Amino acid sequence: MTLEILTPDKKVYEGEVTAVTVPGTMGSFQILRDHAPIISTLEDGPVIVKNKTDEVIFNIKGGVVEVLKNKIIVLAEGVA
């Protein structure tokens, strides 16, 4: 599945991932392959990106996540 992390200024990340954990408004949740379609608001906190070889953490300043057909788009207000 693919992930894009975007801010108003730039594209922060784009690539294939195996799992993504995001800081949802009602608590963190993980997105795996074939996740149901969802749109959710995000709080300030870590976006944990796992791929086949490693794990990367981006600290975002709120935003929105959309999941549709194994494509994840995180629209963040900013990345620290």
The CA-CA-CA angle for residues 6, 63, 23, to 5°, reads 105
CATH at residue 67 = 2.60.15.10
What is d(CA 28, CA 39) in angstroms, rounded to the nearest whole number? 14
Domain that holds residue 43: 2-76
pTM (2 d.p.): 0.95
Q: What residues are paired with 15 via a beta bridge?
A: 3
Tell how far CA 64 is from the center of its chain. 9
Beta-bridged to residue 19, according to DSSP, are 32, 50
Instruction: Work out how many domains the chain is built from and give that number.
Output: 1
**Residues of the chain below pLDDT 70:** none
Q: What's residue 80's pLDDT?
A: 87
**Residues 60, 80: Cα–Cα separation, whole Å:** 6
